[in-house]
Amino acid sequence: MLQLYHKRPSADIVRALSPLHTSGPVELNGGGRVIEFELPPVNPEEYLEEAELLGTAGMIFRVKSIDNVVLPEEVRAKRRDESWQAFDVTSAVRKRKSQTLKFLIKGRVRGPPEGPILLLSYSKPKKRRIRSTQEDSEEPPTAPWLDARRRRKNPCRKRPLYVDFSTINYDDWIVAPPGYDAYQCMGKCFFPFPDHLSPTKHAIVQALVQSALQGNEGAGKNVGKVCCVPTRLAPTSLLYLDASGTLTYQYGYEDMVVVECGCR
């Protein structure tokens, strides 16, 4: 799985499942051992692209699905390298009717971390960013008492922020990376706002009201200043343990990196 993190797969999410149970030698269909996996619940926002049973090269010679829905069938090795080989079991995983799936394996079966794992690869629908009606191109109202030509110090913008997961105890469940560049939004929002800060109409009105009431101590205290906040976020890649303890690689772990800052 660490190799998956450092070399991005084509899938959006990859989950690695260890066997729930491994039997002793059996005489079923020519002999071997039965391994059983507990599969994660179906997520309607994910589509199973591929399922592979991975084993150490030279250890597993034959794999058969013995699920009560899929007739026993032999699964041929799909690909291999010097250290491992993969068997395509996508059909068996897709056709299952329960959360468990069993395979009959002929060969030498070891326990973790050298034992077989079930690798599930998923894709997610691409999300389109819909522009808010508050973010249209209307010209903001102007205020004669505000000087747009003055240089502003400490304006709202994206600034560096590196997050070390061990500092916030996230290293308990995030395997890789040890940290990442999250960035942050800092600075003041001065009116009139530059176009790149994409202010909403509400932010413009709030800035006008706050400026108009600056001399009125009573009313002015009730109006907050417009804030510098993230307006667009991007995903990052994580290798982590999910709530069930399953080792999961997710290419698009959403809303983790600041891309743009604005005034809201």
Domain residue limits, the chain: 1-123, 157-263
Question: Coil, helix or strand for 155?
Answer: strand
pLDDT tens, N- to C-terminus, the chain (264 residues): 666 555 556 788 999 898 888 888 877 666 788 888 999 988 888 999 999 888 776 677 778 877 644 434 555 555 555 567 888 889 889 888 888 898 888 877 766 666 788 999 999 887 655 444 444 444 444 444 344 444 567 889 999 999 999 999 999 999 999 999 999 999 988 888 887 788 888 888 988 888 787 766 666 567 888 999 999 999 999 999 988 888 899 888 899 999 999 988
- Contact in structure between 185 and 260 (CB atoms under 8 Å): no
**Domain made up of 157-263: CATH architecture:** Ribbon (2.10)
Per-residue model confidence (pLDDT) at position 218:
61
Domain 1-123 has CATH 3.30.160: no
Residue 199 makes CB contacts below 8 A (sequence gap 6+) with: 140, 189, 193, 207, 226, 262, 263, 264
pTM of this prediction exceeds 0.75: no
Per-residue model confidence (pLDDT) at position 137:
40
- What's the number of CA atoms in the CB half-sphere (13 Å) around residue 159? 10
CA angle 194, 159, 129 (to 5 degrees): 60
Per-residue model confidence (pLDDT) at position 134:
40
DSSP at 32: B
Number of H-type helices and E-type strands within the chain: 4, 17
Per-residue model confidence (pLDDT) at position 146:
44
- End-to-end CA gap in the chain: 40
